[in-house]
A = this chain, B = another copy of it.
Amino acid sequence: MSEMIWEPRRVAAVRADLPPGVTPSGTRGRILEASLELFAEHGYAGTSIRDIGKRVGINSATLYAHYTSKENVLTELIQLGHQELYTRLATAAAAATEPPERLAALVRAHVLAHAEYPLLTVVANTELHAVPADLIDGALKLRAACRTMLLDTLRAGIEAHVFDIADPILTALAISSMGMRVGQWFGPDQPYTAEAVADEYARLALRIAGADTRDAERK
């Protein structure tokens, strides 16, 4: 049971889910979703425009009526993925002020984003190298903002003496690593809900940060 969780697929999910409101209408949107599925499963370099056309049900040449290049499709996906993650993290951070609550909210949002949009986060996290740096300026700025939110929260908790952290950078790396991999194993063939994973990982993050939750747990 749950054996599939450990399989070394690039992604466990199969259907491309994009955040509501961002999918372009018509053929352009279907190209974007098909590309997301293929890039997630086979990688950007391992996917041809003919593969994309076949999945959409159009000739590969038709793609160029909607995007200037294959690279352009990937760039749009990467931007979408980073925008969605940043928006969720910023909303989560704004909803909690105390460091422990804010850390839990950030981790929950981080995990939920990776569990609800596994294909998108896998592509956004693994295919950045395939795009020239100037095309992903926006995504890199969003990444920087995301890690600043996490680090600032950890440091605020240290100053308030509610966290016990030896090295904020290593701690932040450990916490974000847990969440980033969720997109690679979370899918329909495992027994957890996204909410359950988010809740548990938030609890583990508080432990990592050395938050003293003994009183709360004894209640």
Q: Which residues of A contact B (CB under 8 A)?
A: 2, 5-6, 8-10, 41-46, 125-126, 128-130, 140, 143-144, 147, 166-167, 169-171, 173-174, 177-178, 180-182, 185, 192, 197, 200-201, 203-204, 207-208, 210
Contact = CB atoms under 8 A, between A and B. Distances in A.
Nearest to A10: B129
Contacts of A178: 173-174, 177-178
Given A129-B42, A169-B2, A177-B177, A140 B8 contact: yes
Contact of A166 (B41, B140, B182, B200): B200
Copies of the protein in its oligomer: 2
A10 B128 CA distance: 8
Given A2-B169, A6-B143, A174-B178, 19 more contacts: A5-B169, A5-B173, A6-B144, A8-B129, A9-B129, A42-B129, A44-B46, A45-B45, A126-B126, A166-B203, A170-B197, A170-B200, A173-B178, A173-B185, A177-B177, A177-B181, A204-B208, A207-B208, A208-B208
Those 9 A-B pairs whose CB atoms lie nearest each other, nearest first? A45-B46, A45-B45, A177-B181, A8-B128, A174-B178, A207-B207, A177-B178, A10-B129, A170-B200
Contact of A180 (B167, B181, B204): B181
A170 B143 contact: no
Contacts of A6: 143-144, 147
A103 to B, nearest CB: 14
A8 B129 CA distance: 7
Nearest to A184: B177
A192 B180 contact: no
Contacts of A174: 178, 201, 204
A153 to B, nearest CB: 16
Contacts of A208: 204, 207-208
A97 to B, nearest CB: 24
Contacts of A128: 8-9
Nearest to A125: B8
